[in-house]
Amino acid sequence: MFNRKSTELVRCNGWDPVYSGLKRIRNLSARRVNIMRALIVKTSQILALIAIVCIFAQPSSAAVSIGDLIADQGSFISSGDKLFDNFSFSSTGEMPDADEVLIEPFVDESDNFGIRLVSSFLDFGGGGASELRLSYRVTATDPKQRISGAKMAGDLTVPGTGSFVGIETIGTVPAELGIFVFNPGPSGLTDAGDFGSLFTSVEVDLHLTAEATADGEENAVSATVIEQSFVQSVVPEPASIAVWAGMLLLIGGVPYVCRRAAPEIK
């Protein structure tokens, strides 16, 4: 049975059930706030860790051998919004094997995305020319971008007599780029071309031919880097096309209006 008197005595002794209940509620609320803060911090740490893993767990964005790309069917390498796949490879003479050629993404001086081939592309005197062929497909994955041109560069060296020629053929366009060194003769270590049209993807074939006609390792024809990048252009939006078309119609109609208005002014 409830004893009012005993309750009053207990309150007098310093214990108040109402105050105690409110205090417990405040304590629970504070604990919940602390728990929520801890959960937020922990969640932020987990999300940061996931972001780091996602950044560094993209094998297609790091250097990889062409041999690995060919062996793992369906694999690709990405450079910006450009995706490179469908690789095939062959080599003769002193040219490297597929496992000895590294391919890595890079961005050229004009901010175009591409790939860089790194290896020892060689030919020693005697035995004829050494050749390497690499073919692949490059695709623009950004729906607002299209491939409109290509660039090519290399560090070809011919210390003695001989030649080193690199030809890049874009069969889809078609178009052809070339870098070369002839000794004696001319040289050109860069080339670029505009396709004149926009393409979502293009097929590329690279053909390197090195031939040293002077004996001795010091006269070896060589290169260590071949770069291929692809110019991209923004696809005009339908609204923009309509605006430009309207402006052209307006500009084209101005002389007609002026000619019509001239007799009335006189």
Residue 259 placed within a domain: no
Phi, psi of 220, rounded to the nearest 5 degrees: -65, 135
Residue 117 placed within a domain: yes
pLDDT at 251: 53
**CATH number, domain containing residue 184:** 2.60.120
Same domain, 79 and 194: yes
Same domain, 136 and 44: no
pLDDT at 127: 86
**Strands across the sheet with 82-91, in order?**
77-79, 82-91, 130-140, 201-212, 162-170, 175-183, 187-188
DSSP string covering 62-73 = S-EEHHHHHHST
Residue 15 placed within a domain: yes
Same domain, 112 and 199: yes
Same domain, 82 and 141: yes
Residue 262 placed within a domain: no
Instruction: Please name the residues in contact with 194: beta carbons below 8 A apart, sequence gap of 6 or more.
Output: 148, 149, 231
Residue 152 placed within a domain: yes
pLDDT at 34: 57
Strands 82-91 and 130-140 come out as: antiparallel
pLDDT at 74: 84
Same domain, 102 and 204: yes
Both tokens assigned to 148: 């409109």
42 CB-contact burial (10 Å; exposed 0-12 / middle 13-18 / buried 19+): exposed
Q: How many angstroms separate the Cα of 168 from the Cα of each of 93, 123, 125, 178? A: 20, 20, 25, 6
Residue 166 placed within a domain: yes
pLDDT at 73: 81
Q: Which of 31, 53, 75 is the last residue of a domain?
A: 53
Number of domains, the chain: 2
- For tokens 């090195």, the residue is 210
- Report the predicted TM-score, pTM, of the whole model to 2 decimal places: 0.68
Interior/surface letters 144-169, b for 16+ CB within 10 angstroms, e for the rest: ebbbbbbbbbbebbbeebbbbbbbbb
Same domain, 24 and 138: no
Residue 245 placed within a domain: no
Same domain, 28 and 49: yes
pLDDT at 116: 98
Tell me the torsion sign for CA atoms 30, 33, 39, 43: negative
Same domain, 155 and 202: yes
pLDDT at 250: 52
Gap between the Cα atoms of 157 and 182, Å rounded: 9
Same domain, 26 and 148: no
Same domain, 101 and 139: yes
Cβ–Cβ < 8 Å for 83, 110: no
pLDDT at 123: 97
Give ∠ CA 91-80-132 in degrees, rounded to 5: 5
Same domain, 118 and 36: no
> Can you name the residues that pair with 232 across neighbouring β-strands?
147
Q: What is the mean pLDDT of each run of 10 residues along the chain (266 residues)?
A: 40 52 54 53 45 41 90 92 97 98 97 97 94 98 96 97 98 95 98 96 98 94 98 76 48 44 40
- The domain containing residue 79 runs over which residues? 61-238
Same domain, 66 and 126: yes
Q: What count of Cα atoms within 13 Å lies in the side-chain half-sphere of residue 78?
A: 10
Residue 132 placed within a domain: yes
